[in-house]
Amino acid sequence: MVNRRRRRHGEAGSVDRKPLLVGAGVVAVAAGAALTVGLWPSGESGASSGGGSALAPAPSTTPSPSRTYPLSQTPRTIPAVRDHTPARGPGWRPAKGGRVVVGDKDLADEGQLLAKELKLAYGGEGEPRAGDVGLSLTDEDADAESYTLTVKDGQVRISAAAEAGVFYGTRTLKQEVHGNATAPEGVVRDSPAKPQRGFMLDIARKPFSAAWIEDRIRELGDLKYNELGLHFSDDQSFRIASDSHPEVVSEEHLTKAEVRRILALAESRHITVVPEIDSPGHLGAVIAAHPDLQLRNTQGVATRGAIDISEPAAAKIVDELLHEYADLFPGRYWHLGADEYQALTVANPASSYPQLATAAKKAYGSDAGIADLATGWLNDRADAMRGHDRVLRAWNDGFFAGGAVQADDDLQVAYWTGKEIGAREPAEYLRAGRRMLNYNDEYLYYVLGQPNAFVYPDGRRIYEQWTPLVVRGTKPVSKEYDDQILGASFAVWCDLAGSQTQDQVAAGIRMPLRALTQKLWDPRTPASSWADFKGLAEKLG
């Protein structure tokens, strides 16, 4: 796999991103909203235009000296661009003889993809001329995902400090000219509000084809998402081929060759694939091949999906799987799971599972309990993955209050629910200084079959009611924690796997994905009504 990270000024989706810099900017008021222009990769600044649609002024690619053009309107895209400086001119649309050229060989992939999509020639390295699109990298210290798109003099120039930003600029242009429309004259300056914008897919309970996953990657890339989570191990199945433990792999699974193709496509769209091997619960598929590792209570009754974490062999097999898949998945992030360990859901865990209580005291002292042993398990798995230089996250119900052992400080909280035993408000984690990703099961959980009172997410609810601050239920946390909330992820869970086909899932998540990217990209209240937004989505395909 080609190493495409050397010019990105930090990987897209990095938690170390810089805020928009407000320099010699101009503030303009449009449609009742104040827009602030800052310093962007092109180094330009100017007045902004507000809402409106990108109507095609003319098909010409070169200005006419005898014609006066109206001031251009802001392009209509999903997500909406955050700033547009209008200008007078014919705009641009792809035409015969046009090319895509790059100012740096590292942009060849972005250039070739755009040329193919717009049916233009790829001209390699060079300067754009009339009718062309030019892609370039700047030396400015700007956010890796910000970009500037300029339509002027019959050509388009997209510049950014990193490849990811250039790619997002090409996504904007692709939408601007969709359906033979014209990209409006002027300058777009754009950057996301949140650095992590994700979609998670449960392939453990329901097998999804590699082709279907690749189609979602293309869709996610065009919508400027930058993460794809793969939950591939659970009680029902283990869905990716294994060399270290082939005995745990389900009959229907992805081969490593298929995974590598998925990873290559994701990388070309600047999407990081985030794997999850959930432990110490949800390991039923592993336990099926190793029944001696099953957690059992004092009556010998097996506990569904739970591995016996007092057994050293349990840690050994999980770490061997973690190390194997760390070599397969090169991305920066890793999900450790840690939710719903069933030993902690009974009335008296110590009396039901005395072997766990004994192991906890032996490892962490006389005051330690089973929650401490589970926390120690989480920290040990984190240590295993730190050797692979990963940023680690775990579900919020894998973090326990009090106790002799605390989850490591660098573990990010994937907050999905407040329904667990001993549930804690998101603000408790945030007050402790933890960084958080929003998986709010009230808005962002698409659970097949709608069991346990789940309802398929509605794009309109996300668009009109949800913000990244709404982490649990419908109530937002304080704005003071905004920087600690790194982003959000939409999640497809396949509890009742036969309830929908792959195509039905794709159709069901279509509008929620579009609503979510809008709310993660632009922190302002959307300027368009839901009806207009939905209409735009239908128009763009």
Check residue 37 and give its pLDDT. Answer: 32
- Domains annotated on the chain, with CATH: 83-190 (3.30.379.10), 196-529 (3.20.20.80)
Residue 66 has a pLDDT of: 57
What is the CA 334 to chain-centroid distance, rounded?
A: 13
Instruction: Give the pLDDT band of residue 76 (cuts 50, 70, 90).
Output: very high
117 is catalytic: no
Q: What is the greatest pairwise CA distance in the chain?
A: 91
pLDDT in tens, 362-385: 999 999 999 999 999 999 999 999
CA distances (Å), origin 119, targets 55, 144, 166: 21, 27, 19
* Peptide bond just before 280 cis, omega within 30 deg: yes
Query: Which pLDDT score, from 0 to 100, does residue 409 have?
Result: 96
Bigger pLDDT: 479 vs 140: 479
DSSP secondary structure letters along 397-461: GG--SSSS----TTPEEEE--S-STT---HHHHHHTT--EEE--TTTSEEETT--TT-----HHH
Residue, of 475 and 53, whose pLDDT is higher:
475
Query: pLDDT value at position 15?
Result: 39
How far is 193 from 186, CA to CA, in rounded Å?
Answer: 22
Torsions phi, psi for 178 (to 5 deg): -60, 140
- Phi, psi angles (nearest 5°) of residue 430: -70, -40
Averaged pLDDT for residues 127-132: 97
Which pLDDT tens digit goes with each residue over 211-263? 999 999 999 999 999 999 999 999 999 999 999 999 999 999 999 999 999 99
Tens of pLDDT, residues 138-163 = 998 889 999 999 999 999 999 999 99
pLDDT for the residue numbered 46: 36
* pLDDT band per the 50, 70, 90 thresholds, residue 422: confident
11, 145, 340, 442: the catalytic one is 340
Q: Tell me what the pLDDT averaged over the chain comes to.
A: 90
Percent of the chain with pLDDT over 70: 88
Question: CB–CB of 434/414 below 8 Å?
Answer: no
The confidence score (pLDDT) of residue 188 equals 98
Residue 49 has pLDDT above 50, yes or no: no
* Dihedral over alpha carbons 375, 380, 383, 385 (to 10 degrees): -100
Predicted TM-score (pTM) of this structure: 0.88
